[in-house]
Homo-oligomer: A and B are copies of this chain.
Amino acid sequence: MNDELLKQGRESYSWARHNMPAVLLAESAVKKKKRLPFKGLLLAASLHVSKETAVLLCALKNLGLSIKLAAANPLSSQSDIVAYLNSEGIEVNAKREESISEYNAALRHLARSEPDLIVDDGGQLHVEYWKSKVDSCFGGTDETTSGTHRLRALDARGELKYPVIVVNEAKTKYLFDNRYGTGQSSIDGVLRATDALLAGKVVVVAGYGWVGKGVAMRARGFGSRVIVTEVSPLRATEAYLDGYDVMPMQRASSLGDIFLTCTGQTDAISKEHFLKMKNGAVVGNCGHFDTEINVRQLVALSSSIELVRANLERYNIGKSKAIYLLCQGRVVNLVAGEGHPPEIMQFSFANQLLCLDYLVSNRSEIARGKIKLLSVPEQIDDLVSEFALRCFRLDIDKLSAKQKKYGWSFIR
C-alpha cells in the first residue's frame, strides 16, 4: 500500500513538474547566482499538500533549504504526496482528513521548531508563530488575501517582528491565479462532488473579487445563469455591467440552485439564507477559510445529515427540504478537486521561490527597514511575467525607439 502510494505520489509530482516550468526557471535563475543559497536554513511551510506544492518544495530543497511542512487546510492533503515528500526528506506534518486539533497541533509544532523562514497560505502559521513567542524567523511570505488580512492586523498592532512579502499582491499572482486557477478548479470541484448539470442552473456567486470573477466566468461558460452578491458598490456595478444579475444574498437565496462563496469573509451564507433556499439547493465555499458558510447554523436547522457521495452531504430541514453542502464548507477546489491546475500555480510558486531568495539575499537591509509588510519587488513580478511568456510560448511586440519617446513628443 505504501509503495503504491509512493509510486502514485512520484507520478503525480512528475506530472505537476512537467506542467510547472516557471518554478524550474525560477530555481535556475537563483542557482545561477549561487549554488546553494538557502543552505543551513530551516523553512516552516503551511501549504496545501498537493502535487504543485511538492514541485515548489523540491525546488527549494535543491537550493539547500531544510523544510518542515504542515497542511493549510485539514481536508485537502493528498496521501500520495505526503508519501512522496517524506521519501524526499521533507518532514510532513499532515494527513488526509485530519481533525482540527491535529491541524492546529501541526501548525504549533512548526512554529516552535525555530524556523528561519515561514511560507504560509492563509496566515495561520504566521499567527501561530506569533503566539508561540519564538524568535528565530527573519522573513516570510504569504500566498492569499485571507493571509494578508491577518498579517495586516498583526502589523497594525506593531507585533509583526519580521518582514513578510505579500505574494498575493503580485500582479502575476492575483491576475492569473485567482481568476483562471480558482475559477476553473472550483467549478471542477463542484462537478466532481455533484455530477450536476450546470447548463440552465442559477449559480449564486457571493463576492466579485478576483476569485468571484473567475468562478462567475466559468459558471457562465458552462451555461449557468449567474447571480452576484456584493458589499462594494464598485464591484457590484462591475458585475452588473459584466451581464450578471446583482442582488442582496437574502433575495438570491430563494432563486439559486448552487451557491458558491468567494468573499474572504465570515457568514456570507448563514441561517437567514438557508431558511429561504429552495429544496435541493447546493452550497459550497471557494474561499480559503471555512467561515464563509455558517455550517454550525445549518447543522442546528437540520433534523438529520447524510453523506450522499464523497464531499456531498444532505442536510434535511423539516419534512420537505434538503440542502446539500459541499466539502463540509471547506474550500471546494482543493477538497473535491485538485486545486489550481499546475500551469497556473507555477507563477505563484515562482514568485514564492524568488521572494524567499530576495529575503535571504537582502536580509540585513530589509531587517533595518520599518515596513514589515512588503510587496513583491517589481523586478520579480516582471521576471515572472517573462517566465509566463516562455511557458506559454508567446511572442510579442517590443516598443520601438520612436514609441518609447512618444508622449513626450507633444510638449516639444
Which residues of chain B are near A381, meaning CB under 8 Å? 234
> Considering the chains assembled together, what is the distance between the CA atoms of A403 and B294 in angstroms?
12
Minimal beta-carbon separation of A126 from chain B (angstroms): 9
**A229 pairs with B396, CB closer than 8 A:** yes
**A222 pairs with B394, CB closer than 8 A:** no
Which residues of chain B are near A196, meaning CB under 8 Å? 19, 341, 343
> Considering the chains assembled together, what is the distance between the CA atoms of A157 and B157 in angstroms?
41
> Considering the chains assembled together, what is the distance between the CA atoms of A312 and B11 in angstroms?
11
> Considering the chains assembled together, what is the distance between the CA atoms of A218 and B11 in angstroms?
29
CB closest residue in chain B, given A310 = B8
**A344 pairs with B197, CB closer than 8 A:** yes
**B15 pairs with A237, CB closer than 8 A:** no
Interface-located stretch among A28-36, A40-48, A238-246, A355-363? A238-246
> Considering the chains assembled together, what is the distance between the CA atoms of A278 and B221 in angstroms?
27
Decide yes or no whether A149 CB sits under 8 A from chain B: yes
- Encoded as 1 (CB less than 8 Å from any B CB) or 0, chain A from 108 to 143 comes to 000000000000000110010010000000000000
Decide yes or no whether A171 CB sits under 8 A from chain B: yes
**B234 pairs with A385, CB closer than 8 A:** yes
Which residues of chain B are near A205, meaning CB under 8 Å? none
Which residues of chain B are near A220, meaning CB under 8 Å? 221, 243
Decide yes or no whether A318 CB sits under 8 A from chain B: no
Q: Which residues from 1 to 29 on chain A have a C-beta closer than 8 Å to any C-beta of chain B?
A: 11-12, 14-15, 18-19
Interface residues on A, range: 35 or more
Q: Which residues from 219 to 252 on chain A have a C-beta closer than 8 Å to any C-beta of chain B?
A: 220-225, 229-234, 236-238, 240-251
**A242 pairs with B150, CB closer than 8 A:** no
**A222 pairs with B221, CB closer than 8 A:** yes
Which residues of chain B are near A233, meaning CB under 8 Å? 382, 385-386, 388-389, 396
Which residues of chain B are near A397, meaning CB under 8 Å? 229-231, 248-250
Decide yes or no whether A371 CB sits under 8 A from chain B: no
**B197 pairs with A234, CB closer than 8 A:** no
Which residues of chain B are near A105, meaning CB under 8 Å? none
> Considering the chains assembled together, what is the distance between the CA atoms of A315 and B267 in angstroms?
47
CB closest residue in chain B, given A233 = B385
Q: Which residues from 358 to 387 on chain A have a C-beta closer than 8 Å to any C-beta of chain B?
A: 381-382, 385-386
Decide yes or no whether A266 CB sits under 8 A from chain B: yes
Given contacts A153-B408, A242-B199, A403-B265, contact A175 B394 (CB under 8 A): no
25 contacts between A and B (CB under 8 A): A150-B407, A152-B407, A153-B407, A179-B241, A181-B197, A184-B223, A191-B191, A192-B192, A199-B240, A200-B240, A200-B392, A221-B223, A223-B241, A223-B242, A223-B243, A231-B399, A232-B385, A234-B381, A237-B388, A237-B392, A246-B394, A247-B395, A248-B395, A249-B397, A250-B397
14 A-B pairs besides A197-B341, A199-B243, A266-B402 with CB distance below 8 A are A11-B308, A15-B312, A149-B407, A150-B410, A153-B407, A176-B241, A195-B341, A195-B342, A197-B344, A225-B244, A231-B403, A234-B381, A240-B394, A267-B402
A residues contacting B by CB (< 8 A) are: 11-12, 14-15, 18-19, 123-124, 127, 130, 149-150, 152-154, 157, 159, 171-172, 175-176, 179-181, 184, 188, 191-192, 195-200, 218, 220-225, 229-234, 236-238, 240-251, 265-267, 280, 291, 307-309, 312, 338, 341-344, 381-382, 385-386, 388-389, 392, 394-400, 402-403, 406-408, 410-411
> Closest 9 A-B residue pairs measured CB to CB?
A221-B221, A233-B385, A149-B407, A197-B341, A197-B343, A237-B388, A223-B243, A266-B406, A199-B241
